Amino acid sequence: MCGIVGYNFNNAALLDEMLQTIHYRGPDDKGVYANDSISLGHVRLSILDLSSHGHQPMEFENLVLIYNGEIYNFKEIRKELEKYGYSFISNSDSEVLLKAFHKWGKECVEKLRGMFAFALYDKAHQKITLCRDRVGVKPLYYYFDGKDFVFASELRALRKYKKFPIDKVALAQFFAYGYITHDRSIFEGVKKLLPAHFLEFDLKNKKLTLQNYWKYEDYFKIAAKSEEEIIDELEEVLTEGIKYRMVSDVDVGVFLSGGVDSSLVSAILQKHYGNIHTFTIGFKEQKYNEALYAKKVANHIQSNHTEYILGINEAKEILLEKFHEIYDEPFGDSSGIPTFLVSRIAKENGVKVVLSADGGDELFCGYERYWWSYHLGKKLQKIPAHKIFAKALHACKPCLSKIPIKNIEHKLEFLQELFQADSWAQIYDAILKNYREDMRCLGLVPPSNISKDAFAFGEQIHPMQGMMLWDFYNYLPNDILVKVDRATMINSIEGREPLLDNKIIEYSATISFDLKYRNGQSKYILKKVLERYLPKELIYRKKMGFGIPMFEWFRSDLAALFERYFYEDEIIDMEYPRALLQSFKEGRYVNVNKLWFVLVYKMWKERYY
């Protein structure tokens, strides 16, 4: 895994500064390429072909490549290229990608199975082509002001180019969802290259064009097959995708939570390779602790298992000293703390590549909020003229807020927005948000609903499929994959996502919805595959998720952090958060996520702005 930077002018000092900010993404090597019209930089974490032959930037005829990622099927593509007369001096996937682009142009991405973000400079046509993988496993940001075009793997590198103002729309997204979604970043004018997109920049005319090259929705063609046939085929495509992630010249481990997805990945790998190393983080607070289940799975498959219990003092240390070094824009997912720690433990155990089983929830209907939202929405639809209730709630809110019910104000805000909903998309959006209309108390405008087209497509199949597509295009790339990429990279190890192999994703679209969720059972078909590897008592249990005991911790030692950071702010109005904090200190129930998001924002701002 690596880091890349570049821009359309020559400035050697800036290039070095930008690379230095992301050196941990590639501590094994550094390289640059520059002329009067282009500067490209690369830092390398050596995973395939550990020799100097894998050095980047890599040149071939008129093309120069810098690349972050792994192409797992590079050997097959290499054999195909050799038939066309191409020869190779390395055993790296980088050289295969470079020559595949030389042969097929942008169409080469149709052949790639992997995770990638790359920039390719065409000297003959004076163009830069950026590309990001289908799901967005690998990050890539860019900025263009009509003159300067600058890009990098992480925002911290772009800040060496100049200081950007905060994007208030992006900040509102963060306070609503806990992450910044779609193509925005926290900095005004700086954008993410969306997953499954090309960006082409013409160096002569200074014109930028974007192109989408893949869509999940295109594969929703339900196959007429028996359940047993689908189980067989799904196991086959899962096994192939998971085995591809073992392509490496260094040791590989697996993050094991004991849930369905990580247990399946671990079990398949253990069957085919044996002696795999699994890693788990647990908590002393038992209702958050999945380590017990992970240990049972590890014992059953006989993996080499490492368990670590995270306590409040270590979590506090990570939050204060590491969290905002890891995440260079506001990031509200508190599970980033244990994800960082389990990555560090893997590194300490000599592992340079780890597999993280993300994506199963979005592909196979795993989150509890899907069926909870669906049943709530069905009840809402039975209420005639439900928008009248929203107006009544708004009028009565001052009185109702005094009722001694846990988190009453947040629940009233939720009900008010829910009763105003006209569609499944609005219902789901209301359920996802933390700050809603009360965001106006911060001086921000609540963000509009996102990914309506994808939701509408999925809703034709089932409302829960719409929710799954919403998460596939929003929550997955902007929260889950950001978390894993940054937490692994800061430890200079590579995180791989086997369940997000494009063939697995595309096959999941051919499975009817009633095989994903059946009779109250989530991930029905995935669990049927897992039954071939684990006893049922290790499979059929309540889903826990990978969170931390935030409320319990903030009631004690971490509460002082709020006091430390809840000072005046020139971007948001702090009166409302301080009122929430006062209620919290008085022992009243409040939505602790609202306090957490403000804390995260303030800590980030102190470090980066």
Domains and CATH numbers, the chain: 2-214 (3.60.20.10), 217-357+474-538 (3.40.50.620), 384-448+552-608 (no CATH)
Instruction: Give the C-alpha distances (Å, rounded to integers) separating 265 from 171, 301, 474, 502, 571.
Output: 36, 11, 24, 16, 44
Report whether pLDDT(471) > 80: yes
Tell me what pLDDT residue 321 has: 85
Distance of CA 303 to the CA centre of its chain: 27
Distance (Å, whole) CA 400 – CA 314:
40
Short-list 482, 473, 450, CA closest to 155:
482
Please tell me the pTM assigned to this model: 0.94
Beta sheet of 63-71, edge-to-edge order:
58-60, 63-71, 114-122, 127-132, 197-202, 207-212
Q: How confident is the model over 347-358, as a mean pLDDT?
A: 92
The burial of 35, by beta-carbon neighbours within 10 Å (0-12 exposed, 13-18 middle, 19 or more buried), is given as: exposed
**Confidence (pLDDT) at 263:** 97
Supply the residues annotated as catalytic. Answer: 2
pLDDT score of 223? 83
Dist CA 573 CA 443 (whole Å): 6
Q: Could you tell me the two tokens for 572?
A: 């948001």
Lowest mean pLDDT among 29-33, 157-161, 308-312, 392-396: 392-396
Look at residue 456 and tell me whether its pLDDT is greater than 70.
yes
Q: pLDDT at residue 193 above 90?
A: yes
Q: For a pLDDT cut of 70, what percent of the chain falls above it?
A: 91
pLDDT of residue 608: 87
Report, as an integer, the average pLDDT of 441-458. 87
Give pLDDT, residue 312. 81
Res. 389 pLDDT band, cuts 50 70 90:
low
pLDDT for 592 beyond 70: yes
Per DSSP bridges, beta strands 252-255 and 149-152 are: unpaired
249 compared with 570, residue with greater pLDDT = 570
* 88 phi/psi in degrees, rounded to 5: -135, 140
**What pLDDT, on a 0 to 100 scale, did the predictor assign at position 386?**
63
Mean pLDDT, range 333-356, rounded to an integer: 92
Cα-Cα-Cα-Cα torsion 151, 100, 48, 344, nearest 10 degrees, comes to 40
